[in-house]
Structure 1
Amino acid sequence: MKRTSLALAVAAGTLGVSLMAQAEFIKASKASIEARNFYFSRDFRDGAGQAKSEEWAQGFLLRLESGYTDGTVGFGLDALGTLGFKLDSGGGTAGSGLLVPDRSGGSQDSYSGLGLTAKANVAESLLKVGALQLKNPAIGSSDSRLLPQVFRGAQLVSKDIAGLTLDAGYLDEVNNRNSSDYEDMTLNTFALSGIKISGANQSNEFLYGGGTYKLSDSLSAGYYYSNLEEMYKQHSVNLVHVLPLGDKQSFKTDLRFARSTDDGSSNIDNKAFGAMFTYALSGHSLGLGYQKMSGDTGAAYVGGTDPYLVNYVQIGNFAAKDETSWQARYDFNFASVGIPGLTFMTRYLTGDNIDRGAASDGKEWERDMDIAYVVQNGPLKNLGVKWRNATMRNNFGRDIDENRLIVSYTLSLL
């Protein structure tokens, strides 16, 4: 009887701890669904080939984030479910990146995906394994179309040392913005980059490691190393300083440098320097950017991602071989005049000195404008509307006029 009573007591205690852990796992969970309605129009102003890329699509993103089980090591599980479907693709206007291409040159009617991420937390360190969306100087998942770019791999982030954030990861596959399948990663190639690849442009291993250290309340420095197997190796450093100048005033300095070299199957040889200086006063921000490419090729980064370049903008990256570019930018937040949720941005970039071989130097310019509003209160709270307009001209490729209209709504489920 005593043994039976003891066994029952142990079983009851174990069950109680398990239920408590499960309760914390569920209690701290979050869930939301985002609906995105996306219209994209890119008008090629001249030259042979497709005259326009124009599509309209609807997307849904279901995000689930669990809490953690109790104990020294807390375990959890996240999920990202995505669904996109075509509303209109016109005749011969596919290729916007909103939808999955089909074999006829058009777009598929719908596509979907499900990404699961297991996670483990110890003190201030977090390990994630599975579907990942990343944003750091080594690699940045793109989310500028209907559905986001998602990688498969593992990431460890540690903040156990005060002021220091360490970040390391391993990736082997990517599910791109207009795809429903995971595939090998690629090296990004673009006009006048000077990049050449021997063999297939495919890699199933991307490694990175680095971190950011906060030297003071106003100054932080970072370093990252990354390697896309067989394609390139990269060392990048950055320095960010924010100088308070008085009431609602500041001056921000953002400096970035990356050194990229080949890793066997490419000719990558690039030094990318960028600097962005921004003066902020109340709701106004005025920025001036400079970017310089040197070496035998343009900048190196994983295909489809957002590179860590100050002059990477809506259409162009201003990162061709030997290119020098400047940016002037203005932002205004209407909350400063009593209209919270309304923002405006415009910028102008110009680049020259691009290596075109025997031809004259390449030149390009781009003007962008964003205006966005997010409803702050009432039954339509969190409803967002954004219009993105861009014009790009150059002397080596096709001119582009582009418009994007995005209507989004996020509903919290938990």
Structure 2
Amino acid sequence: MKLNPLSACPLLLLGALSPHLMAEEAGGFLEDSHLVRTQRNFYFHRNLLNNPGGQNYREEWAHGMMLDFASGYTRGTVGLGIDAYANLGLKLDSSRARTGTDLLPVDSRGEPEDEYSEVGAAVKLRVSRSELKYGSQAPMNPVFGTGNARLFTPMAIGFSLNSREVDDLLLDAGHFTAGNDGNSTNNDGALKALYAQVETRRVDYAGFGWTPSDSTSLTAYTSRFDDIWRQYYAGASQRLVLDDERALTFDLNLYRTLDEGQKLAGEIDNTTWSASARYSQGPHGVTLAYQRVHGDEPFDYLGFDRQSGTSIFLANSVQVLDFNAPNERSWQLRYDLDLAAFGVPGLSFMSRYISGDHIDDSHYQGGPNGAYGRYGDDGKRWERDIELRYVVQSGAARDLSLRLRQASIRSTEEVARADTADNNELRVIVEYPLQLL
């Protein structure tokens, strides 16, 4: 649930008083509580290259302060608890001519806000090893994941149930009716199909994750976006240790999506899958992935008013593009390097290149409610990503991280119009989490 943004101060005060409250009250509720304060500084630059008549240059800089509180549970057969958070976002640099990165909300005149804040909370109930929660949450699973790609995490409002009564087996279910972007203070925003941009007021999901060993995992989920689609997911991962220095990891992800109810996004009959293999040797890692869309509409997933969720567990869903266009096939080559082996612990490097082709929606039969853009019948595109990340390993600044992310994408003309215009972008993210309790 969301509260008036101006009421963020009481939760910040709670953070300051929590050590005293903990000393005064006995029981698991406060003994097992955690309070984390996170500072996140985010610079976002994007230069659009083929956006005629639109905004070609976007550049914003913002700072976010987050306070996250997770209580323990009261003692007894049925335990009660609460999770709460407070966010405050500050504009460091932006203008009406440079908005559009989704770091900051804009007012009715299109001007970026100087600051924005929100508070949210969820109550939780635990019986044995099962937990029922209601309120503002950030689920993360293959069919309903909220994500964290901007200053704050988008939140969804509803119920969730998680159970670990059997070792190595997670049972997971949820019912959500509203949400809000990370750059919004709206407490009753819409849940959407991201690419179709149509709203649903009800999402239900259920699934399980089984990890019989540290090297093997199996996952299956089903979800319903009311009057849009029913979606089914299956995933598997296997790691094979070759020796002390070498290992192979295989991942498979499969989605099946079918229209449902009033078909607000039009007719949908889509099967999308990806397979990847990663070879690691010491500090080096090389990944090869293939992804395929079978359907005349894009593979679609959870969105909010403007931002996307992360319920797309596909190998070629990367920094900017998802490579999920109608009938698209795509390859990825990725290289990872851990520079701890070269005397710089905490420093890592990643580079990848993804190429997609065979994009074709010429047979799209969306009907009167068809909501997807037209990609043409012979589309191609590619994306190149480079990332450098450093995490402080010790001392007063331990866990402080600096992340540099650069991406370039190029597409054929119709694909760029339907999805994402060609661009070069740079993101600089500095984050410092500090555990107060």
TM-score, reference length from structure 1? 0.90
Residues 1:98 and 2:103 aligned together: yes
Does residue 29 of structure 1 match 2:33? yes
Matched, 1:228 2:233: no
Q: Secondary structure of the equivalent of 2:28?
A: helix
Contact 2:95 2:112 in 1 (8 A): no
Q: Show structure 1 runs of 5+ residues with no match.
A: 1-18, 190-194
Write out aligned runs for 1:18-97 (5 A): 22-48=26-52, 49-97=54-102
Question: What residue is the counterpart of 2:406 in the other structure?
Answer: 389
1:360: how far off?
4.8
1:207 paired with 2:207, answer no
Which residue identity lines up with residue 32 of structure 2 in the other structure? A
3-state SS of 2:191 partner: coil
Q: Where in structure 2 are the equivalents of 1:288-307 lying within 5 Å?
A: 288-303=288-303, 304-306=308-310, 307=312
Distance 2:345 2:78 in 1: 41
Q: Which residue of 1 aligns with 2:276?
A: 276
- The answer for the alignment partner of 1:399 in structure 2 is 422
Q: RMSD of aligned C-alpha atoms?
A: 1.7
Whole-Å separation in 2 of the counterparts to 1:137 and 1:356: 25
1:354-369 correspondence runs (5 A): 354-355=359-360, 357=362, 359-369=376-386
Report the structure number with the largest CA radius of gyration: 1
Distance across 2 between alignment mates of 1:394 and 1:106: 30
Say if 1:377 and 1:217 are closer, same or farther in 2 by CA, change over 3 A: closer
Letter of the 1:71 partner, please give it: G
2:433 equivalent to 1:410: yes
Contact 2:297 2:361 in 1 (8 A): no
In the other structure, the counterpart of 1:330 is 335
Matched, 1:378 2:395: yes
CA contact (8 A) 1:142 1:177 kept: no
User: Percent of pairs identical after alignment?
Assistant: 37
Equivalent AA in structure 2 for residue 369 of structure 1? I
- When the two structures are superposed, what TM-score results if normalisation uses the length of structure 2? 0.85
Partners of 1:175 and 1:181 within 8 A in 2:
yes
Aligned residue in 2 for 1:6:
none
In the alignment, the residues of structure 1 paired with residue 48 and residue 214 of structure 2 have an alpha-carbon distance, to the nearest angstrom, of: 47
Residues 230 and 257, structure 2, Cα contact 8 Å, conserved in 1? yes
1:351–1:66 CA distance, 2 compared to 1 (3 A): same
Report the counterpart of residue 285 of structure 1 in structure 2. Answer: 285
Any conservation in 2 of the 1:242–1:251 contact (CA below 8 Å)? yes
Given candidates 249, 257, 260, the residue that maps to 2:257 is 260
Q: Secondary structure at the match of 1:186?
A: strand
Please report how far the alpha carbon of residue 217 of structure 1 lies from its aligned counterpart in structure 2 after TM superposition: 4.2
- Where in structure 2 are the equivalents of 1:141-220 lying within 5 Å? 141-182=146-187, 183-189=189-195, 201-220=198-217
Q: How far did residue 21 of structure 1 move? A: 7.9
> What is the deviation of 1:379?
2.4
C-alpha separation in 2, matches of 1:164 and 1:412: 29
Gaps of 5+ in 2: 1-22, 364-375
Once residues 316 and 290 of structure 1 are traced to their aligned partners in structure 2, the CA distance between those partners, rounded to angstroms, is: 15
Read off the aligned partner of 1:401 and give its amino acid letter.
Answer: N
Task: Using the TM superposition, give the Cα deviation of residue 20 of structure 1 relative to its aligned residue in structure 2, in angstroms.
Answer: 10
Instruction: State the alpha-carbon separation in 2 of the partners of residues 399 and 89 from structure 1.
Output: 22
Residue 248 of structure 1, aligned match among 213, 234, 245 = 245
For each residue in 1:79-99, what CA deviation from the matched residue of structure 2 results, as whole angstroms up to 9, or x when unmatched?
111111211113501010101
